[in-house]
Each structure stands twice: as C-alpha cells, then as structure tokens.
Amino acid sequence: MRLLLAAALLLSAASYFVYLPLPSGVCEPWKLMLLDALFRSVIQASDVAHSLGLCHHVHLLNRVVSWVEDTEARSCPAVHVSDSTLGGVPARVFRAKGGAELKRGIIYFHGGGWALCSGRMRSYDLLCRKMSEDLDAVVMSVDYRLAPEAVFPDQYHDALAAARDFLSAEVLKRHGIDPERVCVSGDSAGGNLAAAVAQELGSDDSLTTRFKAQALIYPVLQALDFHTSSYQQNQAVPILYRPIMARFWLQYLGADSSLVPLLLANNHSSLDQPAIGADTRSKLNWTSLLPGERRKHYRPLVRDTGSPGLLGELPALMDVRAAPLLAEQRVLGRAPKAYVMTCEFDVLRDDGLMYVKRLQDAGVPVTSDHYEDGFHGCMVFAYRPMVSSVGRRSMNNYIRWLDQNL
C-alpha cells in the first residue's frame, strides 16, 4: 500500500512538472510538453551548478547536449561525410555520392542562441545528410565559436570567414560545387548569421561568386522589441521562452544577465533613447509590417522613458551584423532571393515575418513558409526518438524549396 501511495505521489509530481497549458493549435502538445520538461530540467540543473560556482551554466548545457547528441563523421552509401575547415572554422562536409559532376552547394549555420549546439549533433547531422542526398549537393555545416568564450562579433566573423571561403574558386573546385547554385542557410541564431552574411556578401562587389539564395529557418533578427505580437502571444510557449531569448541575446553581446528585466520591459528602446531614430523604429514597426491576422489584439509597448545608458553599454543592439532586420533598404535589395520559415507558436515569428515584408519592399523575391501548428525548433525534431509531425513537414518543404530554387 505504501509503495502504491509513493508511486502515486511520484506520478503526480512528475505530471505536475511535465504538464503545461499549451495553445490548442500546437502540433502534438504532449510531445512538446515532454521536450520542454527535459529542457527545463537541464536548464535548472545548469543554473544551480552555475550558482554554486561549479561551472558556467552554458558549459554544462553543452556537455549534456554533446553527450546525448554528438556523432562521428561517418559516411554512408549515399553521402560521404568528413570533418574539415572553412576559412579556419571547423565544418562538417556532406557530399552526395554519384549524381552530377557539379553539385549544388549549401553552407549551413546551426541554431542554439549563439551559445549551444554544434553541426556534429545528431539532429543536424541527419538534416544535412538528407539535404545532401535529396538535392545531390555538398552541404557544409559550420561550427562557429560559441558564448561565453566568444561574443559578438566573433560568431559573425566566423560565419563570414567560412562563407567567403565557401564561395572561393579553390573550395568550389575542390568539392565540385556549381558556382551558379550556392545557398546560405541556418536556423534560429544560425538564421541570424545566415541573414547577416547574405547582406554583407550581397553588397560586396569584389566577389566573383555570389549566393543564389538564402534560406532562413525561424531566424532571430532583432533585440530592440521584446513585445512584438509573437513575443506577447508566445511568451510562455516552449521551447523558447521570452526570458530565455533575452538571456541568449545578452550572452551573445557579452553583457550581464542581470539586464534581462530591462530588455523584457523594452527599457532599452524607450523614446528617450537618442540613438534610436524614427527610421530605425520604422524597420521593426510590427503594427505596419505585419498583417492583421498576426497582429491580432496585441498592442506595442513603447516607453516614454527607460534606461538611457543601456544602448551605450550594448551598442551591438543597433548593429545590423547582430540585428539584420535593421539593415537599410538598399542593402536588403542586393541580397539573394529568400526563403523564410516561421512558426505560429514561436516568439521569433514576427522577426521572420517582418523580414519577409522588408525584403519584399526592397524588391527581393521571397517565399514565406508559415506553420500554423509549428513551434520554435520544430524542424530539428524530424527524427526519432522525438519525431514531430510539423518537424517532418517543415523539413520536407524546406528541402523542396531548395530543390526548386537552387
């Protein structure tokens, strides 16, 4: 009887920890709850270790991720896999066997808030293998440096160095890549890097080879407004909560996490910030850039007074290399055609949708691929053990777009 009571209590406690009220439209909510419970457990454990001085919380998170996910560079009958470097940055190379002599080329930047994950992770390894095989392509997954050891602009510089080398005649020839069929891509923080690289290299007249396309998967593109309609709607939806995104930004910029409440209150973008002019505000004005069905009933939060010195401490908040949504129209107009994936239940949804509108206004052909039942990070959950239906659909549609546009 006592064992039954203890089991019941444990089950009740586990259910309480796992259960989370989710929007009715989210795909397979119980799977997302289980994923979230796992992530929250690891994050809480890492925060405890950090507070006890045992290790930095990011280091523990990455150790757990590496232990669970990291894989060796193993070739298979369809794809040759090897570890190499691009511009001095580690990269895993996937080259389809057989097929055309000249292949499509894709450089890929993984997500993880500029602090976590790796191209060696099983989920990214499987994604790049599938891309390589299905597209008869060479895919290079870049392992840029991570926070806290590396802070902006280190990750950007790694991504740019790798991309420049990827486009070089020597690398294209060595790997048999068609210079007319090259793409830059990435998800989440990697989508941020891909967008920033596409802007920089799109405006570089010295290049003889240019990207034909950019493919951005739920990209993070700005940090001046943490009260867009999607931040408000999805602030408590896993797996990317609003405070976690603010913490990722501060880690990326090398700032103290104690500033999180100021960012969440939009104190850094108040009207008394002289560095933020009307032109800058117009580039992230979601009330005009988003359609009504995305704005819904939400209202913007623009404070008259905030923390005037905050932008002085964090000037990168205004740097287009960190926040590609703030780029000038002429820069956007020189970027390659784009694919932008967004998910309804994602705090970053509006970042991507605003970027779609700004690219379109600059004359860039854009495909906006929106998932009404999607959540942040869903595409990497396309394989066992945690297969998500929307993960499978989004991955297949992403690869289909590449097939049709590259």
List, by residue number, the catalytic residues.
Answer: 188, 346, 376
- Percentage of the chain exceeding pLDDT 90: 78
List of domains in the chain: 65-222+332-405 (3.40.50.1820)
Looking at residue 51, its pLDDT comes to 82
Amino acid letter, residue 285: N
Looking at residue 384, its pLDDT comes to 77
More confident residue, 14 or 377: 377
pLDDT-derived band at 18 (thresholds 50, 70, 90) equals low
Distance in angstroms (rounded) separating the CA atoms of residues 42 and 23: 24
Pairing of strands 103-109, 89-96: unpaired
Give the mean model confidence (pLDDT) for residues 125-140: 98
Report the run of H or E that residue 94 belongs to, with start and end.
strand 89-96
Exposure b/e, 21-43, CB count within 10 A at least 16 = b? ebeeebbbbebbbebbbebbebb
pTM of the model: 0.95
Give the mean model confidence (pLDDT) for residues 29-58: 83
- Percentage of the chain exceeding pLDDT 70: 95
| Position 35 pLDDT exceeds 70 | yes
Beta bridge partners, 215, equal 185, 339
Distance in angstroms (rounded) separating the CA atoms of residues 273 and 352: 25
Q: Among candidates 159, 162, 104, 158, which has minimal Cα distance to 135?
A: 104
Interior angle at CA 22, CA 121 and CA 30, nearest 5: 55
